[in-house]
């Protein structure tokens, strides 16, 4: 576990899935707890293959206050066990279209819309929906995606990027909230040759380092860098890029 401050810790389980304990509340990002296997997709679209198990299972998590779901349409962000988990969580924050598909406790957010959650002992955590672009353009071929910013009185600012490949989006977040204390950046340089001619679908390691500069992030916890075969960069590439950019001391690399 990365214990970043008295009010913030991040525990990474593999893929995009992490437990963020923040201001007394417990948030889970993009739940993926299935065993390794292949996920075929319809209409000739390329399937996805999970190559490693999560380091935890839903029964290990304990109480969750909310799931921060960047999007529901791809199994590397929400798999079968993740969908089952949502039924037991009081709130899932996601895209407006995703909430319509998921139903239940899912609540859809438009860009920059906010939700306030009560903290134990008083006060609130504000969750702000941040824009995200899943691929090289904003035409939403890969579907709607959302990121999140967590804020609260006396609390650090935390940015959760979701499946975003756009530095322009990162600049928008920095203009509103920067410098951020901690960025949970989805990286891994995922590519699928038939999709956008193999262009990046999420940040690669060099772009993640540039995003760190733009955000003024003091600490970066990378997720979405392992466990799937379409992720073309992992821990080593990330460390190399951050070292080259003079940012290695900001990385918090761990997996529970």
pLDDT 10s digits, 62-109: 999 999 999 998 899 999 999 999 999 999 999 999 999 999 999 999
Measured over the CA atoms of residue 162, residue 165, residue 167 and residue 169, the dihedral's sign is: negative
Look at residue 87 in the predicted model and tell me its pLDDT: 94
Using an 8 Å Cβ cutoff, are 104 and 57 in contact? Answer: no
Residue 85 lies in a domain: yes
pLDDT 10s digits, 210-255: 999 999 999 999 999 999 899 999 999 999 999 999 999 999 997 5
The pTM (predicted TM-score) of the whole model is 0.95
Look at residue 256 in the predicted model and tell me its pLDDT: 44
Residue 256 lies in a domain: no
CATH of the domain at 163: 3.60.15.10
- Count of domains forming the chain: 1
Q: 66, 86, 85, 68: which is closest to 25 by C-alpha?
A: 66
Distance CA 224, CA 167 (A): 17
What's the domain range around 156? 2-250
| Banded pLDDT at 199 (limits 50, 70, 90) | confident
């Amino acid at each position: 576990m990365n214990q970043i401050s008295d009010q913030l810790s991040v525990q990474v389980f593999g893929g995009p899935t992490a437990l963020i304990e923040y201001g007394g509340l417990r948030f889970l990002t993009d739940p993926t707890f299935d065993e390794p296997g292949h996920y075929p997709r319809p209409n000739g679209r390329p399937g996805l293959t999970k190559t490693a198990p999560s380091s935890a299972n839903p029964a290990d998590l304990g109480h969750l206050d909310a799931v921060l779901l960047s999007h529901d349409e791809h199994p590397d962000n929400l798999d079968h066990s993740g969908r089952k988990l949502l039924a037991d969580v009081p709130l899932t924050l996601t895209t407006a279209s995703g909430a319509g598909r998921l139903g239940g406790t899912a609540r859809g957010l438009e860009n920059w819309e906010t939700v306030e959650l009560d903290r134990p002992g008083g006060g609130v955590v504000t969750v702000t929906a941040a824009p995200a672009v899943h691929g090289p353009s904003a035409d939403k071929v890969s579907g709607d995606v959302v990121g999140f910013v967590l804020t609260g009185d006396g609390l650090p600012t935390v940015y959760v990027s979701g499946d975003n490949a756009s530095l322009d989006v990162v600049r928008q977040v920095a203009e509103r909230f920067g410098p951020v204390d901690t960025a949970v950046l989805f990286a891994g340089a995922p590519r699928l040759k038939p999709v956008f001619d193999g262009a990046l679908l999420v940040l690669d390691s060099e772009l993640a380092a540039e995003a760190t500069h733009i955000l003024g992030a003091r600490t970066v916890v990378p997720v979405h860098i392992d466990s799937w075969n379409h992720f073309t960069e992992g821990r080593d590439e990330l460390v190399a890029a951050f070292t080259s950019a003079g940012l290695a001391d900001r990385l918090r690399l761990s997996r529970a």
